[in-house]
Structure 1
Amino acid sequence: MTGSPNTVFRSCRAVLPGGERPADVVVQGGRITSVLPHGAGEGEVLDLGGLALLPGLVDTHVHVNEPGRTEWEGFATATRAAAAGGVTTVVDMPLNSLPPTTTMAGLEAKQKAAAGQTFVDVGLWGGAVPGNTADLEPLHRAGVFGFKSFLAPSGVDEFPHLTAAQLEEAMLELSRLGALSIIHAEDPAVLDAAPHRAGPHYADFLASRPDDAEATAVATLLETAARTGTRVHILHVSSAAVLPLLRRARAEGVRVTAETCPHYLTLAAEGVPDGDTAFKCCPPIRDESNREQLWQALADGEFAAVVSDHSPSTPDLKHLPRHGGSGDFAAAWGGIASLQLGLPAVWTEARRRGFALADVVRWMSSGPAGLAGLSAKGAIAPGMDADLVAFDPDAEFTVEPEGLHHRNPVTPYAGRALTGAVRTTWLRGRVVDLAPDAEPTGRLIARGEA
């Protein structure tokens, strides 16, 4: 299936901004020109029958790690995985690559590494770290989508966290620039005071990253945002303890949004096997009661997006027993690899709870597109990029890590039965070809370009 100068994508289940209905989506020159009643379009017809037609997903929280740590992940492998999972746009995080995207030199190194390698469109976040306040304006002018900071150690020395005073300095500058501040919110003092016990027991790791670490950091962040007027976005919310703080801040006029991730919505601490460090991430997967509260917040519209926080590493850094490791949660790298699986994972759980495909599209496509200001992404509507996905919502499969496209075959979803399969992904009306010798057709995009 390939696009043409006038291609009609026909589906009995097109997920449109107004909901799901039969429709013909007409595409010319890589853009959607019209959305017509089912059967009314003229041109080369691609009839999807009962497959759902979704807008391509937008994942604004992906750690590609190239250059510098390409053995963990790289642009070619990450974007193949994205396309296989129905994701047509990713925005790459500024850390875990060497150099990090905290200077113009770091940005240029990232752009050079990505050029010609991406199977989907890729944007870049910048980083706000101690001592780089003067770098923020040049990076903003160069088109990064915003600036990530940590309030606790990031796990890599080249991307240090901000103190409260440094956070205020950075946010004052970002407010002046009109830039978005995105924050990993855990409080280092709370983390330091928590019990730390090495070993294979997930309960011990969970105790080392308590709910209060998130809540305390978010409270500090929201107070700073209120003083500085900065637009802030809280990354990967895992703890329901954060939710009342967000509600109160919004009621007081603070410009704050938040996201959560598939693993917090589909996995629970009670189901993590001892020693299975594929489940380790920071902040951590919490208990079933907490997960239920996250779902309720999602239903109530309290999250702007559901995004992967795809943060893979080599198997040795995960210390997995099946790869000869110790299974020590304290020693393992913290990160979930799920870029290819986010859509079926979320859909499996969402459908069970009575949600519709239109809800999943709002959480994983239009929501993150709006967060990043991607005005041509995230919806099936005239004038939008023809980034489309043929999705079988009833297909069932078991996750086999060796069949995933990300670089290292490690995922907590291994062996898990999921519902919903991506059949074809189109980028600007053209099939994303994932054959070994396929030519990448993705673009690097900057803030305001798409």
Structure 2
Amino acid sequence: MTTAATTGPGDDATPDGLFDLVLRAARAVLPEGERAVEVGVSGGRVAAVAPLGTGLRCAEVVELADDEVLLPGLVDSHVHVNEPGRTEWEGFASATRAAAAGGVTTIVDMPLNSLPPTTTVEHLDVKRERAAGQAFVDVGFWGGAVPGNTADLRPLHDEGVFGFKCFLADSGVPEFRHLEADELRADLAELKTFDGLMIVHAEDPGALSGAPQAPGRRYSDFLASRPATAESTAIAAVVDAARATGARAHVLHLSDADSLPLIAAARADGVRLTVETCPHYLSLDADHVPDGATAYKCCPPIRESANQDRLWQGLLDGVIDVVVTDHSPATADLKEPVDGDFAAAWGGVASLQLGLAVVWTEARRRGVPLERVVRWMSAGPAGLVGLERKGAIAVGKDADLVVFAPEATFVVEPARLHHKNPVTPYAGRDLTGVVRRTLLRGAEVTDEPAGTLLRREG
């Protein structure tokens, strides 16, 4: 990648200031597929996309190297920033810096595990006050749906949250309680009145309480404590409630491939249902989790390799819509207790900086093209949350761009990540795909935070 000044009397752009920046790439991932293009940027947005060789010119031209591909910035709609209240776990500065390093230019922050949780407008204001001036990428916010706050949902929607997160089982933190079946249906009915979106942690508390509980170091015991039936039972309840109310629902972090036929059938029946999965379910498997390796703990859990194959097929078939990280970090003492007890460890995988490389490494091995990965991780999440200006290299979109070297490799060194706590199950793994440069609205992300706080459009 090189940058050069190319002004002159014959310039197409400089006489009237049309372009602030031009990027030239032999490979760029556009909505219609890979193309060789020149991209003109003006006022922070894409102003032109032309075939390579057109000769768009301006004061600054970026020429991508032969081994680089121009991508739209990724959108990660499932990130736990944890600030305020548990900022020692993560924070807006560290999370958004990590996002930019991983090619993510927009995140949407979950309503927990911060204190207070984002369950009222007043709590949303606290979040925004803390995030202001710290964000290296653009940041939006989810609201929370908990018992007793149905009346807060519409005001939160009017204040610009992108939807509402709920749990159907214990969330792990006492201030964010889960919804019972009747509460889920009542909240979905409320969301239907303004076409709000409910995003659901779908595990059934009855199935979990009936599963064997065996604290200790064995991953097989932890896996048995979070059976696939807990997901399938809860997803069936979400489907029933969404069908009854006509509201939009989204299943978070799907790990159970057995639920795919149910999801496909519900959508064929007109139920307004979308689904996500995460990099750890697509790249890690229960057969290779060492005992005591609590960095791998997440809920729902990482399942067997055959299950992983079916999740990939669900993506390829379009049953799963998006791939997002569910970046859920914690301090090392909570995440990796000295005895390696899975029951005692915090459940969550930190991967915000690594998501693209993790998914691309596995996709490449499976023969899945880069453009499919980009669709799942950029256009898909942008569409899910209604960010029409994000998720693609196209005229009128924000010029959120990533220079990516898809064949370059690196070894994950936790201490070199921007995550606040250097704990990750990817430690020591060889990954393919290096982010060399990230641009937010046409400007390279630097050591000065320049992200904006987003509100739901419309």
- Taking structure 1 as the reference length, the TM-score comes to 0.97
Alignment check: 8 A CA contact 2:101 2:435 kept: yes
Instruction: For 1:48 and 1:2, locate their aligned partners in 2 and report how far apart those are by CA, in whole Å.
Output: 11
Instruction: For 1:349 and 1:143, locate their aligned partners in 2 and report how far apart those are by CA, in whole Å.
Output: 36
Give the match for residue 35 of structure 2: 21
Code of the aligned partner of 1:151: L
**1:47-196 matched pairs, under 5 angstroms:** 47-50=63-66, 51-196=68-213
Structure 2 residue 397 is the aligned partner of structure 1 residue 388: no
Give the match for residue 42 of structure 1: 57
Of 362, 381, 395, the match for 1:349:
362
Alignment check: 8 A CA contact 1:2 1:430 kept: no
Return structure 1 stretches of 4+ with deviation > 3 angstroms. Answer: 1-5
Query: What is the Cα deviation at residue 112 of structure 1?
Result: 0.5
Query: What is the Cα deviation at residue 439 of structure 1?
Result: 1.5
**What runs of 5+ residues in structure 2 fail to find an aligned partner?**
6-16
How far does the alpha carbon of each residue in 1:425-448 deviate from its partner, in whole angstroms, 9 at most, with x for none?
000000001xxxx21000000000
Q: What secondary structure sits across from 2:214 in the alignment?
A: coil
Query: What is the Cα deviation at residue 49 of structure 1?
Result: 2.3
Q: What secondary structure sits across from 1:177 in the alignment?
A: coil
Structure 2 residue 262 is the aligned partner of structure 1 residue 242: no
Give the match for residue 343 of structure 2: 330
**1:199-348 matched pairs, under 5 angstroms:** 199-320=216-337, 325-348=338-361
Structure 2 residue 451 is the aligned partner of structure 1 residue 442: yes
Alignment check: 8 A CA contact 2:4 2:61 kept: no
CA spacing shift, 1:20–1:313, aligned 2, 3 Å: same
Instruction: For 1:2 and 1:110, locate their aligned partners in 2 and report how far apart those are by CA, in whole Å.
Output: 41
Q: What secondary structure sits across from 2:242 in the alignment?
A: helix
Of 421, 436, 444, the match for 2:434:
421
Instruction: For 2:61 and 2:334, locate their aligned partners in 1 and report how far apart those are by CA, in whole Å.
Output: 48
Code of the aligned partner of 1:351: R
Query: What is the Cα deviation at residue 252 of structure 1?
Result: 1.1
Q: What secondary structure sits across from 2:193 in the alignment?
A: helix
Alignment check: 8 A CA contact 2:39 2:49 kept: yes
| CA-based RMSD | 1.2
Give the match for residue 404 of structure 1: 417
Instruction: For 1:138 and 1:171, locate their aligned partners in 2 and report how far apart those are by CA, in whole Å.
Output: 15
Instruction: For 1:17 and 1:315, locate their aligned partners in 2 and report how far apart those are by CA, in whole Å.
Output: 40
Alignment check: 8 A CA contact 1:234 1:256 kept: yes
Code of the aligned partner of 2:298: C
Query: What is the Cα deviation at residue 39 of structure 1?
Result: 2.5
The sequence identity of aligned pairs, in percent, is 64
How far does the alpha carbon of each residue in 1:310-350 deviate from its partner, in whole angstroms, 9 at most, with x for none?
00000000134xxxx11000000000000000000000010
Alignment check: 8 A CA contact 1:2 1:431 kept: no
Code of the aligned partner of 1:19: G
Instruction: For 2:242 and 2:373, locate their aligned partners in 1 and report how far apart those are by CA, in whole Å.
Output: 29
Query: What is the Cα deviation at residue 246 of structure 1?
Result: 0.4
Code of the aligned partner of 1:247: A
Instruction: For 1:298 and 1:68, locate their aligned partners in 2 and report how far apart those are by CA, in whole Å.
Output: 36
Q: What secondary structure sits across from 1:285 in the alignment?
A: coil
Q: What secondary structure sits across from 1:13 in the alignment?
A: strand
Q: What secondary structure sits across from 2:367 in the alignment?
A: coil
Q: What secondary structure sits across from 2:135 in the alignment?
A: coil
